[in-house]
Amino acid sequence: MLKNSSENLSSFKKAFDPEEFRNNGHKIVDVLADYLQKAGCGQLNHVLPPISPEEMLSLWDEDFSEKPEKDLTDLVKKLTELSNHLLHPKYVGHQVTSPLPMAALCSLATSLLNNSNAVYEMGPATTIIERKLTKWMSGLIGFGDKGDGFFTSGGTLGNLTALLAARQSKSGYDIWTEGSKESVSLAVMVSEQCHYSVKRALQVMGMGENGVITIPCNENFNLDNEKLEETYVNALSEGKKVIAIAANACSTATGSYDDLQKTGEFCKQKGLWFHVDGAHGASALLSGKYKHLLNGIHQADSVVWDTHKMMLMPALSTAVIFKNSENSYEAFCQKASYLFEREAREEWYNMAQRTMECTKLMMAFNVYACLSIYGTKFFGDYIDRVYDLTKEFAEIIRQNPDFELAVEPECNIICFRYLKNQDKDLNHLQFEIRKKILSEGSFYLTQTILRDKSYLRCTLINPLTTIDDLKELLIKVREVAAK
């Protein structure tokens, strides 16, 4: 018995041995540095592995033996080969960024430390880092000294948390304690181009489809402020109690920024909570050239801001910022004596009183460290570069009559479609073009449907993507369509 215990201890000591970690770490960094070099130069064979789910399933073992002989370096090499390459300049797909290598090193440190941000005593340093960072972000938004917030795991949780606070603040009674009342039909007005997570949050909150009031958009897919009064009055006539409006900064499908100034003024006039889903576009506050797109955001009561979209951070890393720090405690009002000793507002440093998570990653450190190392201008220049590149790409598309631009891009999201192959239904043609390109792995782009028309959709999120890469994409679209 003692012999087995001694052998077990020996194996644990080896697993935690500093020199073992150092040696493995050097090997892994070498593998990733080589990968980074190849990805940045476009030397990888594919942007994504052209492999079906069934084929991918066959490539990974599930035989975890008692005495395995796998090597970490080999596993990491295999992982890089069979993953999507967001660092490749021809990745123009979803709104998940190519992360800064420095941020990846930060993640290594936080993963080893593994402090949770539930309460201060579990994560003292990163609790304060998160506080400093959210105060800084609050200042950029224009909230002043009373602004406050926290980080959470993604925009979906961010929107849910903000809207829970809106409901508690504007429902007219303590809905957290008393539960929903059948006599009160709560509703939130949202842009028809809102992210699905906003509608999902409202339905998770029990409002149902009837509690989601859609506001029409204009021809550029911005929320149509001329329709606000009509939409609001109609909702009231149906017996609904409207408590909030959720606007986009910017929308996911087209990257269109809503007029936050006018929407904010309307919310103030009607006494509504004003929520801004700035998951993608709030980072433009760092740009001297494009921050005007967020004029009026200071009127918001809550803002969601993903740093893993437009601040080059690894996922997930989302800030939820409130104009009034008091409101940041509204979403969750429960007590847990094993964690908390006093009322939530007396313990700002115990984040679990305000977030869905209890155990939470040290996600704010990546952002804090990279801002400290690179400075704010670096991130502002990044926004300028990818927004400018998108406008340049739009101009090229306009100059080619066999392509059609869906809308003038306002950020780094652009939608277009190919027109020339008249033998095909144009909507189905876009689907076939994308499917073929993905099967080759030459580019990664997405698609969307706008007013019954299908479009190819690109998010130019990699700072190393060039206009030549995008010209090559148009050539590739033509080649595929011709076949």
Burial-class residue 254 by CB neighbours within 10 Å (0-12, 13-18, 19+): buried
Burial-class residue 8 by CB neighbours within 10 Å (0-12, 13-18, 19+): exposed
Confidence (pLDDT) at 326: 87
Is there a single domain that holds both residue 255 and residue 142? yes
Confidence (pLDDT) at 342: 46
CA distances from 23 to 19, 32, 434, 478 (A): 6, 15, 43, 49
Enumerate residue ranges in the chain where pLDDT < 70.
1-7, 333-346, 421-423
d(CA 360, CA 129): 14
Q: Pull the structure tokens for residue 392.
A: 């340049």
Q: Are 356 and 348 contacting, i.e. CB atoms less than 8 angstroms apart?
A: no
Is there a single domain that holds both residue 358 and residue 384? no
Is there a single domain that holds both residue 438 and residue 405? yes
Is there a single domain that holds both residue 257 and residue 398? no
Amino acid at 412: N
Q: Is residue 454 part of a domain?
A: yes
Q: Is residue 287 part of a domain?
A: yes
CA distances from 267 to 227, 244, 278, 366 (A): 13, 8, 17, 35
pLDDT in tens, 357-366: 888 889 999 9
Backbone angles phi and psi of 155, in degrees to 5: -65, -30
Confidence (pLDDT) at 3: 56
Is there a single domain that holds both residue 250 and residue 192? yes
Q: Is 24 left (phi over 0), alpha (psi -120 to 50) or beta?
A: alpha
Tell me the β-bridge partners of 321. 149, 303
Is there a single domain that holds both residue 351 and residue 452? no
Confidence (pLDDT) at 332: 79
d(CA 320, CA 351): 12
Is there a single domain that holds both residue 349 and residue 396? no
Backbone angles phi and psi of 124, in degrees to 5: -60, -50
Confidence (pLDDT) at 73: 96
Query: 10 Å Cβ neighbour count for 226?
Result: 10
Is there a single domain that holds both residue 294 and residue 226? yes
Q: Is residue 302 part of a domain?
A: yes
Identify the residue whose tokens are 């993903």.
306
Is there a single domain that holds both residue 148 and residue 238? yes
Q: Is residue 420 part of a domain?
A: yes
Q: Is residue 176 part of a domain?
A: yes
DSSP string, 38-84: HHHTT-SS-SS----HHHHHHTS-----SS----HHHHHHHHHHTS-
Is there a single domain that holds both residue 225 and residue 308? yes
- Reduced to 3 states, what is the DSSP secondary structure of residue 403? strand
Is there a single domain that holds both residue 446 and residue 367? no
Tell me the β-bridge partners of 453. 450
CATH number of the domain at 471, please: 3.90.1150.10
Confidence (pLDDT) at 7: 65
Q: Are 362 and 103 contacting, i.e. CB atoms less than 8 angstroms apart?
A: no
Confidence (pLDDT) at 338: 38
The alpha carbon dihedral of 76, 81, 83, 88 has a sign of positive
- Reduced to 3 states, what is the DSSP secondary structure of residue 417? strand
Q: Is residue 146 part of a domain?
A: yes
Query: 10 Å Cβ neighbour count for 60?
Result: 10
d(CA 117, CA 259): 35
Domain boundary among 353, 373, 393: 373
Question: What are the E-state strand segments in 207-364?
Answer: 212-215, 240-248, 273-277, 302-306, 318-322
Is there a single domain that holds both residue 340 and residue 400? no
Name the residue range of residue 209's domain: 111-373
The alpha carbon dihedral of 361, 362, 367, 373 has a sign of negative
Domain boundary among 316, 340, 373: 373
Domain boundary among 373, 407, 438: 373
Query: 10 Å Cβ neighbour count for 65?
Result: 8
Domain count for the chain: 2
Q: Pull the structure tokens for residue 135.
A: 């105060």
Identify the residue whose tokens are 């792995």.
441
Query: 10 Å Cβ neighbour count for 124?
Result: 13
Q: Is residue 235 part of a domain?
A: yes
Q: What is the CA radius of gyration of the chain?
A: 24
Q: Is residue 429 part of a domain?
A: yes
CATH number of the domain at 300, please: 3.40.640.10
Task: Estimate to the nearest angstrom the gap between the alpha carbon of 428 and the chain centroid.
Answer: 29
pLDDT in tens, 71-121: 999 999 999 999 999 999 999 999 999 999 999 999 999 999 999 888 899
According to DSSP H, which parts of 298-417 are helical?
307-310, 364-374, 376-398
In what order do the strands lie in the sheet containing 446-450? 403-405, 413-418, 453-459, 446-450
Query: 10 Å Cβ neighbour count for 183?
Result: 7
- Strand 185-191 and strand 240-248: the pairing is parallel
Q: Are 186 and 207 contacting, i.e. CB atoms less than 8 angstroms apart?
A: yes
Query: 10 Å Cβ neighbour count for 190?
Result: 24
